[in-house]
Structure 1
């Protein structure tokens, strides 16, 4: 009988997990958990992040529960950030407005106000955070993407050379229509250039998604060649890239350890996502001064130590001397052999004359 009760309880728990998915996001290693309180404006209740429908100029209040998972107090800083496209074709989030594209108007961070930007939770207590969302007064298409960051606030601790930022991010996507936002159909190549990045010589192709929708499943094939000789210098193929709405990023092609020469180059790119295809071609020039500067400053180049250069020179000189000595010795031996041969011939002649 008890066994049957246990089975019934387990089945009931499983049914609860299916019907009421857990919206709490564990961050036990941080000392707290974060969970979104469902909003009446939620478009998709299956999502654990905020995916909200907005009306122009109509304010909304969002609620988030923050719960302590330890006795010790945890100080948490709360702030919004905006979506952008990272260097490796991933959707990332940032506070740095310089990383945002000019086509992104009124980003999420400009529409959100956290009533209590810093809170402290301790001894397993739970607090509710209120976030004010004020959508644009004018209608917008597509979506605006960002996250609410709940970050451990270490401002009161002693400063160190290296700091690890621990945080939890709660997604925030807003839309007026709730239509599919993963079907952007536009892509632009803004610029091609060569420069140093992270100490590496790079060719950078700046790609832009000008639509307020996500551009997904990109496969990029790119090649760089010398314009004059048509010689292919570098090829690169990647798959699975995606771009956040109204964003740009620099597609990187590592030049490697080869020496860069000044001249005019041509970048050819083919980009596809199974539904759309884009072909780009763009020229860019590297001056002799730029090439020399990149070659000198690159941290990734073949550097031969001085002792190897000296040893190699000595080895070459030694080899040359040995070869010369061998040739001289061979010449002497040949001369000696010729002299001996002449002497033998004279002896033979004398013997014949004596007979």
Structure 2
């Protein structure tokens, strides 16, 4: 991402189930999306909240309305829900890598992304096909139809620029999609700790603890408190605590423990991580090692690291030279005096 620009993506509010509610609209987006409710709609939600059966095939229709006084083209993509690096559920990538714990993703079950051309104030229905797998699945498969304006009549992507701040505003809407085969089935989320390794977070030195929700159930309001110690030492070396973390079903993300803009140092360390969400609590301990070549490579790429000051090394060297010279000179004078 260009460090001189901020990208503001306007998404719809999410309900407790972490599915964006729609009639989808956001100030500045220039268009709206609305789900045409199918017969197998489970609830009064204005997104697609569907009870499905193995091997079922059905069409899902979205009504898209242009609110602009000029023609626009809207790209709509059926995307999986995933957990981004900030600990927030997101829907912005069609080809986001499938989690190792997931049976299926929305990208696999819904037909390909589409584009729709809309005249000023025009509405059109866009239809996608959903094909439920033959093998039954547990819990929920979640995602959303992610939509944004890709160009205007002159072929230039819709954007506004504020020259003083060099800000690029890009607006997107999400129309949620939730699939379940058994609405009465209760699935409890489960958190796992995978890899712990040194790395960069927002281009700054950090240790990354990969957290995984291995179950087909979203959850949120999670507090994560991670402490790092030098191995064998009881004093906390680094600590990062974050609240209101969210996790999509069958997803993982790297929880970053800040190194406070200091260079990583090679050595053996221990991570102690506590997480809780509602009545669920998890506790992890993991030893890990930062190799010298890893630290050097990461530090080289990091920003805002303090420049190393070599003057004190030079001062120490000069003191050592002076002491050696004084000692040598004293010995020479001693020998000459003894003569």
Name the TM tier (shorter chain).
0.7 to 0.9
Secondary structure of the corresponding residue to residue 297 of structure 2 = helix
CA distances 1:79-109 after superposition (whole Å, capped 9, x unpaired): 1111111122211124264543111122011
Question: 8 Å contact 1:34–1:66 — kept in the other structure?
Answer: yes
CA offset at residue 59 of structure 1? Answer: 0.8
Q: In structure 1, what is the equivalent of residue 25 of structure 2?
A: 26
Q: In structure 2, what is the equivalent of residue 298 of structure 1?
A: 302
The structure-2 alpha-carbon separation of the partners of 1:280 and 1:90, relative to structure 1 and needing over 3 Å to count, comes to: same
Secondary structure of the corresponding residue to residue 208 of structure 2 = strand
Give yes or no for the alignment of 1:151 onto 2:144.
no
Q: Which has the larger radius of gyration?
A: 1
CA distances 1:173-196 after superposition (whole Å, capped 9, x unpaired): 111112477x63311101111112
Higher relative contact order (CA 8 A, sep 6+): 2
Secondary structure of the corresponding residue to residue 292 of structure 1 = helix
Q: Name the stretch that deviates more: 193-202 or 133-142.
A: 193-202
Distance 2:232 2:27 in 1: 60
Q: In structure 1, what is the equivalent of residue 84 of structure 2?
A: 86
Question: 8 Å contact 2:191–2:212 — kept in the other structure?
Answer: yes
Secondary structure of the corresponding residue to residue 283 of structure 1 = strand
Q: In structure 2, what is the equivalent of residue 172 of structure 1?
A: 177
Task: Choose between structure 1 and 2: higher strand proportion.
Answer: 2
Q: In structure 2, what is the equivalent of residue 348 of structure 1?
A: none
Question: 8 Å contact 2:25–2:173 — kept in the other structure?
Answer: no
Give yes or no for the alignment of 1:65 onto 2:63.
yes
Distance 1:164 1:264 in 2: 44
Question: 8 Å contact 2:91–2:174 — kept in the other structure?
Answer: no
Q: Name the stretch that deviates more: 222-231 or 275-284.
A: 222-231
CA offset at residue 298 of structure 1? Answer: 2.0
Q: After superposition, where does 1:308-323 map in structure 2 within 5 Å?
A: none
Give yes or no for the alignment of 1:138 onto 2:121.
no
Q: In structure 1, what is the equivalent of residue 34 of structure 2?
A: 35
Question: 8 Å contact 1:212–1:246 — kept in the other structure?
Answer: yes
* Unmatched tracts of structure 2, length 5 or more: 1-20, 160-165, 316-339
Distance 2:279 2:52 in 1: 29
Give yes or no for the alignment of 1:210 onto 2:210.
no
CA distances 1:308-338 after superposition (whole Å, capped 9, x unpaired): x7xxx9xxxxxxxxxxxxxxxxxxxxxxxxx
CA offset at residue 268 of structure 1? Answer: 0.5
Secondary structure of the corresponding residue to residue 251 of structure 1 = strand
Secondary structure of the corresponding residue to residue 299 of structure 2 = helix
Q: Name the stretch that deviates more: 49-58 or 159-168.
A: 159-168
The structure-2 alpha-carbon separation of the partners of 1:216 and 1:24, relative to structure 1 and needing over 3 Å to count, comes to: closer
The structure-2 alpha-carbon separation of the partners of 1:233 and 1:104, relative to structure 1 and needing over 3 Å to count, comes to: same
* Unmatched tracts of structure 1, length 5 or more: 1-21, 314-355
Distance 1:184 1:79 in 2: 29
Question: 8 Å contact 2:95–2:107 — kept in the other structure?
Answer: no
The structure-2 alpha-carbon separation of the partners of 1:37 and 1:286, relative to structure 1 and needing over 3 Å to count, comes to: same
Distance 1:272 1:222 in 2: 12
Question: 8 Å contact 2:99–2:252 — kept in the other structure?
Answer: yes
Q: Name the stretch that deviates more: 215-224 or 146-155.
A: 146-155
Task: Choose between structure 1 and 2: higher helix proportion.
Answer: 1
Secondary structure of the corresponding residue to residue 212 of structure 2 = strand
CA distances 1:125-160 after superposition (whole Å, capped 9, x unpaired): 221111211111111000011111222122973589
CA offset at residue 163 of structure 1? Answer: 6.7
CA offset at residue 164 of structure 1? Answer: 5.1
Length, aligned pairs only: 285
TM-score, normalising length: structure 1: 0.73
Distance 2:29 2:132 in 1: 32
Distance 2:265 2:309 in 1: 23
Distance 2:167 2:241 in 1: 35
Give the aligned CA root-mean-square deviation in angstroms: 2.8
The structure-2 alpha-carbon separation of the partners of 1:99 and 1:198, relative to structure 1 and needing over 3 Å to count, comes to: farther
